[in-house]
Amino acid sequence: MRIVIIGAGMSGLACAQALEQMGHEVALFDKGRGPGGRMSTRRVALDEAQISFDHGAQFFTAREEAFRAQVEQWRKDGLVACWPAARDDAWVGTPGMNAPIAHMASVHNARFASHAMGLVREGADWRVLLHDGSRHGPYDAAVLALPAEQAAAFLGTYDLTMAACAIAARSQPCWTAMMAFAERLPIAADVLRPSGPVGWAARNSAKPGRSATEAWVVQASPAWSTEHLEDDAAQVAEFLADWLAGQAGGAPLPLPVRLHLSAHRWRYAVAQRSPKGALWNANLRLGACGDWLLGPRIELAWLSGTKLAGLIGG
Ligand SMILES: Cc1cc2nc3c(=O)[nH]c(=O)nc-3n(C[C@H](O)[C@H](O)[C@H](O)COP(=O)(O)OP(=O)(O)OC[C@H]3O[C@@H](n4cnc5c(N)ncnc54)[C@H](O)[C@@H]3O)c2cc1C
């Protein structure tokens, strides 16, 4: 079959990989400027250096046999490395969190900067309409590999049961601040797991394969992010930077010169847990996968995409 997948994050690419192994022909479209989805890496050019920040997912674990085999292959290919600072069994992409996604996207010919605005059924075929007015297809099957809230908009026209499932799934937001400094901050630990407004903070430059410039990622808790969802990004960045400065409290002031500060809002960051795995309507040949069908982890997004491929082509 010729199959179109909208969304080239971990679930969409895992689905593409398994479908191509079965002999299907796959096309992927993603609205992002580059590969990553919620495993994105932001690169910032400074005068003398380029710094990167993993501003979405911070690390991942591999518990299921099939995903462990996948991670082992990525390790052999130099795309991931262990990061015990987070936990004993933690993995990160190298040189950035998006490395496995970038690799899979190149192998499976994913197209970025391609915002799907419509999914149209013509007879038994599917076509995709992009933001630039271009039409793609025909395809024999269509897959939505998007956060639930974004998938719901497409599903509603064709399958009310699937759409209801997506509408019922609720994601929580996450404000993320990215900061770089001229020197090391006087904070001993590379990972802070505080409570209150901040859910996670880490010295990004301590991850394997990153540049030496002192770089931090500070992620607000779901509750704080929800309460401040519509706040100004610059103000959120300053708030989270003040919080980090507080962690360096007791050290001789002033703190090292700040080279960079920005914030990113993930509106649909953390999916709910679900037992569904994946959705597939065999009559329409329309499916959905993503972390919202299993749980809010990279491994579960991969498993959801792989499961959907099994339903489609098995
Ligand atoms: C701040 C944050 C921290 C996290 N921390 C961790 C962690 O430490 N460990 C862990 O395991 N997981 C973590 N996660 C969760 C993990 O990132 C996700 O579970 C996983 O990446 C989801 O993959 P996915 O393919 O389901 O969705 P996504 O990665 O969101 O992929 C969906 C893709 O669809 C694209 N898209 C959306 N709409 C359209 C459209 N109309 N047209 C075309 N393309 C479209 C998007 O650009 C995106 O690339 C975190 C997530 C966030 C945001």
Burial state string for 98-110 with b = 16 or more CB within 10 A and e = fewer than 16? bbbbbbbbeebeb
Instruction: List the residue whose alpha carbon is closest to atom 1 of ligand 1.
Output: 56
Max alpha carbon distance in the chain (Å)?
Answer: 71
Q: From the CB of 104, is ligand 1 less than 6 Å away?
A: no
Q: Rounded to two decimals, what is the model's pTM?
A: 0.97
Q: From the CB of 146, is ligand 1 less than 6 Å away?
A: yes
197: preceding bond cis by omega (within 30 degrees) = no
Q: What does the alpha-carbon distance between residue 59 and residue 57 come to, in Å, rounded to a whole number?
A: 6
Cα of 287 vs centre of ligand 1, distance in Å, is 18
Instruction: Give the residue among 143, 141, 148 at the shortest CA–CA distance from 165.
Output: 148
Cα of 250 vs centre of ligand 1, distance in Å, is 37
Cα of 55 vs centre of ligand 1, distance in Å, is 11
Q: From the CB of 30, is ligand 1 less than 6 Å away?
A: yes
Q: From the CB of 35, is ligand 1 less than 6 Å away?
A: no
pLDDT (tens digit, 0 to 9) for every residue of the chain, 314 residues total?
Answer: 999 999 999 999 999 999 999 999 999 999 999 999 999 999 999 887 889 999 999 999 999 999 999 999 999 999 999 999 999 999 999 999 999 999 999 999 899 999 999 999 999 999 999 999 999 999 999 999 999 999 999 999 999 999 999 999 999 999 999 999 999 999 999 999 888 999 999 999 999 999 999 999 999 999 999 999 999 999 999 999 999 999 987 555 668 899 999 999 999 999 999 999 999 999 999 999 999 999 999 999 999 999 999 999 86
Ordered domains of the chain (ranges, CATH): 2-40+98-170+274-313 (3.50.50.60), 172-270 (3.90.660.10)
Q: From the CB of 98, is ligand 1 less than 6 Å away?
A: no
